[in-house]
Amino acid sequence: MQVERLKEELAYLKKNHEEEISALRSQVGGQVSVEVDSAPGIDLAKILSDMRSQYEVMAEKNQKDAEAWFTTQTEELNREVAGHTEQLQMSKTEVTDLRHTLQGLEIELQSQLSMKTALEGTLRETEARYAVQLSQIQGVISSIEVQLSDVCADTERQNQEYQLLMDIK
């Protein structure tokens, strides 16, 4: 920027110098001998060298700052990764334990369902057996009731015959 500014200033001075020379020529009208007493030239190479060294110092400082920031951020991320890794391992262990518990419970459920099915089958068999036995007992009771009614009828008939014989006597 400084070099650009100096170039612009140099162009401006040249333009002013040419305008002054033109104005003087028009006034004098003849030959003019001009001696310029100018200041010593500006050493642009030295200015550029100084600017380059300043930028190199700034660039080195910025690089060190960036490296320090990067190192800090990397360490912080490594700490976070370590914490998350530990949490992840704990979660994996917990998931594994829960899976084992689930498998145990599923096995127990299957066992209980098998036992229920077996007990239901036993209950049906027992109910069927008792139904058959009840039917047999009801058949025996019916048969005994028939026999009893026969005996009652027989007894009644014999009683009437006895009464008839007693009346005849």
User: If you compute the radius of gyration of the chain from its CA atoms, what whole number of angstroms results?
Assistant: 64
Q: Give the tens place of pLDDT for each residue, 38-81.
A: 666 677 888 888 888 988 999 999 999 999 999 999 999 999 99
Q: Is the model more confident about 34 or about 46?
A: 46
For residues 6 and 2, what is the distance between their CA atoms, to the nearest angstrom? 6
- The answer to whether residue 103 is domain-embedded is yes
Report the pLDDT averaged over residues 143-155: 95
- Check pLDDT > 50 for residue 33: yes
Sign of CA dihedral 98, 102, 103, 108: positive
Give residue 150's pLDDT: 94
Give residue 21's pLDDT: 87
Q: What share of the chain is helix, strand, coil (3-state, %, to 5)?
A: 90, 0, 10
Number of independent structural domains in the chain? 1
Instruction: Yes or no: say if 6 and 44 are a contact pair by the CB < 8 Å rule.
Output: yes
Instruction: Yes or no: say if 85 and 40 are a contact pair by the CB < 8 Å rule.
Output: no
Structure tokens that stand for 96 in this block: 């594994």
- The answer to whether residue 29 is domain-embedded is no
Instruction: Yes or no: say if 68 and 23 are a contact pair by the CB < 8 Å rule.
Output: no
Give residue 27's pLDDT: 80
For residues 153 and 59, what is the distance between their CA atoms, to the nearest angstrom? 134
Q: Output the pTM of the full model.
A: 0.42
DSSP codes joined into one string, 44-103? HHHHHHHHHHHHHHHHHHHHHHHHHHHHHHHHHHHHHHHHHHHHHHHHHHHHHHHHHHHH
- Check pLDDT > 60 for residue 36: no
- The answer to whether residue 32 is domain-embedded is no
Instruction: Yes or no: say if 83 and 38 are a contact pair by the CB < 8 Å rule.
Output: no
Q: Give the tens place of pLDDT for each residue, 82-126.
A: 999 999 999 999 999 999 999 999 999 999 999 999 999 999 999
- The answer to whether residue 3 is domain-embedded is no
Give residue 34's pLDDT: 53
- Check pLDDT > 50 for residue 32: no
- Residue-range definition of the domain harbouring residue 72: 49-168
Give residue 44's pLDDT: 80
Report the pLDDT averaged over residues 126-148: 95
- The answer to whether residue 28 is domain-embedded is no
Instruction: Yes or no: say if 145 and 139 are a contact pair by the CB < 8 Å rule.
Output: no
Confidence band for 138, pLDDT divided at 50, 70 and 90: very high
- The answer to whether residue 147 is domain-embedded is yes
Q: Is the model more confident about 61 or about 33?
A: 61
